Amino acid sequence: MSRMAYVTDLRTLQGECSANYARLSRLVRDVRAGDVREIALSGQEARFGTLCLDVREQAPYTTILRVRQQGVLDHVIDTPCMTVHLYHDVRMAEVTDFQRQRHFEGRYRYPNARMHQPDEKLQLNRFLGEWLEHAMAHGHTADLPG
């Protein structure tokens, strides 16, 4: 039985990157290089931690953010941390680094030495989108844009 090779779904990846750009633009509006926007995440009765959006670099066409979560489990587990490039000219945001791993390919043969999924890049950008949606729905901060 032959297996079909994974084909990168560029339309879905670009859609996810465009949606993430819109989410991040809303969350880091009026924030400059060196600033950090902190969003406390909570449910009905529990606090989940803080989403930190750290603006590392800003240029006319690109902004580089570090997105990470801080919380009560920091000393127990490696909490999520990623670098995201916002490309202002095409209005897209792309995950370029996750948990200190860089340069993700559009597709991977599976299995592979690092056990990346065939659509690892899409999954990372989708994870960022879900993380930001959660922050927008359950986040609390005095300076979060309305």
The string of pLDDT tens digits covering residues 67-121 is: 998 876 666 667 788 999 999 999 999 999 886 666 666 665 666 576 556 677 8
- With bands split at pLDDT 50, 70 and 90, how would you rate the model's confidence at 63? very high
For the whole model, what pTM was predicted?
A: 0.79
Report yes or no: 76 and 57 within 8 Å, Cβ to Cβ: no
| Phi, psi of 123, rounded to the nearest 5 degrees | -65, -40
Identify the pLDDT of residue 9. Answer: 77
Q: What average pLDDT does the segment 31-56 reach?
A: 85
